Amino acid sequence: MSPTPDSRRSAIAEEQAFLDTATALRDRLLARLADEVADAALDGDRALHRVLRAQHDELLLASDRLVFGRLDGLDGVVWRIGRVGVREDDVRAEPLVLDWRAPAARPFYTATPVDPQGQARRRHIRTEGAVVVGVEDEPLDGSSASDLVGEGALLAALDRRRTGRMSTAVSTLQREQDEVVRADASGPLIVQGGPGTGKTVVALHRVAYLLFTHRQLAERAVLVLGPSPRFLDYIAQVLPALGETAVVSATCDTLVPGAEVTRAEDRVVSEIKGRAAWQRALEERVAALRPRPRDLELRWEGERHVVDRAVVAQLLASVRARPHHRARTAFAEQLHQVLAELIAEHREAALAEVEEGFEDILARVDRGLGGAAHDGPATGSDVDGRLSEEEVDELRAAIAEHPTIARFVEHWWPTLDAGEVLRGFLADPVPLGGFLTPGEVALVVAEPRGWSSGDIPLLDAVADLLGDADPARGRAESIADRARAQRGWTYGHVVVDEAQELSEMQWHMVLRRCPARSITAVGDIDQAEASHRHTSWARAVHATLGESWTAAELTICYRTPSEVMALTAPVLEKAGSRNTPPRAVRSSGVTPWERSTTTADLPGAAREAVAELAGRRRGGTVGVVTARAHVAPLKALLGNEFPVLTATEAKGLEWDATLVVDPEGITAEPRGWNGLYVALTRCTQELGQLRIA
């Protein structure tokens, strides 16, 4: 039964009254927190200041959709759901607004008429600022057959004009999406999802959920890895809007501080450098750079002391498992101790000789005096010459601080630069020949100077094997800033978007940053355009994760209209896909169109087509996806108003309308059918194709 205008007005008035109450409470809490933040700053309590500032900022950001939902239980209990929890100072009191991440809020996303989970009704509340502008009631008594949660609210959100930035979806998450958001985080979770299934938004909301549920994760921060800086800019507003700041966003190319990608790389070489075999080869290379056992001759206060080869071998063996520079530090500390003990033994021996000679002198004197000078047995000095433990420790400390000893250690076990080590390895055909073919070795050795994307994972591996030469770090203001500055930082959780593009060596980069393997990877194996040839997740992650990962799948396409998804089946078949395309839940009512033009007329035809799309999508967004050869001229033609991207660059992005220029040119590129699949599925409303006859 449809609601009457009067009942709708009454419901809106009811929710407006509640929103007014919640807003007033939020404002009081904000004022109190602002005072507490100021007091903590004056007191110099940085830890408390960070906590209070985070609470203040979370409440401040929650002004948009402070309340967006309501659950009416079969037992009469009513909950309002919002972006954050809002409660009175009494922590024992029930919250006025329930945080969407709280367990009690989960039925808002998962209850269905078949499985109502104790709920009688779900209400979606639409607000503009502090004003309620609409409500949508969803009975959970079986009278509705839709498998979508809040279908009206969802479709309204999907039809909304795109702004060029991703927004939150806390009020419209669907059941299968919520299952991924709240899935266990104890091991790698790999989420397969076709275009428009909400992979990215699910991954980001999962970050917010995990930081809320597992507060300790914020102590180590969360890393979000995206495919490109453009993509990271596109999603930049989502997590702050959800109240989360303990997050570092990066691409694989930017994970090593100080290293910059300065050149492109041939796909063949990129595939070679992405193989897992490099990890073992680099381990062997760095291990070979460690010094070998030999007698070590050191001088202290003019005296020569020799540390025996067998002792050196024992010290080296004791630090073998540590990274190169940390092993050197540990070895040096043990060497200082050994040298201190050698010096102590030398002094004891010297004193013993002096004492023995002194006793002989006393004995001769005694005999000359007829024994009258010594009533008892001859004992010499009462001091045995042995250094106490405290004196040995003082001697060791002096050795550790002495510049001559430090220079000796540096000469024998020098500090290494990761870049220099890798450059030397890449230029040396002998070790490369141990795991590459002669033809592959020739390609790698011929590479010019400068880092490529394929070099960064190798550089990261070498840097990890070497370890920090100087582990001392300054303390940045925020956890995220500290994590961003330190290559070796380990995160509480890692999210990888467009994970199908990662090479095996890039997966090694991910695992180094989260040894606990609390990882969420989302992607579409059918959109893979990287140089590797993986066509399944099992093959893509076998070298690094083995079989120790959990799979999940998103099967419903919310973004791309059914008219466009109907075009993708033959494209997927030619791409070699074995997956079922996601099911589109909406129609835009616009039939995809295509035109033909000549190479000479392409600029004019492209300008005209983009202008038409922009005119029909006034206030929305239009994107152009094309073959690589057309990107530069079309960018020059269209300027900065309309993005012109390759299929690879467009991955993860969306526009109201998309113009695909030269689809045949896209399919002619490496893994081109996968690229065309990406290009066709970027729009939310209208798709046009411009073919070159």
Question: Do 506 and 252 meet the contact criterion of CB atoms below 8 Å apart?
Answer: yes
Look at residue 490 and give its three-state secondary structure. coil
Question: Do 223 and 251 meet the contact criterion of CB atoms below 8 Å apart?
Answer: no
194 is in an annotated binding site: yes
Distance CA 263, CA 56 (A): 44
Handedness of CA 518, 487, 470, 408 (dihedral sign): positive
Question: Do 167 and 65 meet the contact criterion of CB atoms below 8 Å apart?
Answer: no
Tokens encoding 415: 């500090």
Q: What is the largest CA-CA distance in the chain?
A: 133
127 is in an annotated binding site: no
**Residue recorded with tokens 């009175």:** 88
Residue of 276, 333, 336 whose CA lies nearest to 540: 276
What is the identity of the amino acid at 203?
A
Q: Please, which residues have CB within 8 angstroms of residue 253's CB and are 6 or more apart in sequence?
A: 261, 453, 456
200 is in an annotated binding site: yes
Residue 375 backbone class (left: φ over 0; alpha: ψ -120 to 50; beta: rest): alpha
Tokens encoding 107: 């039925």
193 is in an annotated binding site: yes
Give the 3-state secondary structure of 236-277.
CCHHHHCCCCCEEEECHHHCCCCCCECCCCCHHHHHHHCCCH
Tokens encoding 619: 């206030």
651 is in an annotated binding site: no
Question: Do 224 and 211 meet the contact criterion of CB atoms below 8 Å apart?
Answer: no
- Phi first, then psi: what are they for 53, rounded to 5°? -65, -40
Distance CA 27, CA 275 (A): 55
245 is in an annotated binding site: no
Tokens encoding 639: 């300027």
Burial (CB count within 10 angstroms: exposed 0-12, middle 13-18, buried 19+), residue 41? middle
Q: What is the CA radius of gyration of the chain?
A: 34
**Residue recorded with tokens 């279908």:** 151
What is the identity of the amino acid at 436?
L
Annotated binding residues for ATP: 193-200
Annotated binding residues: 193-200
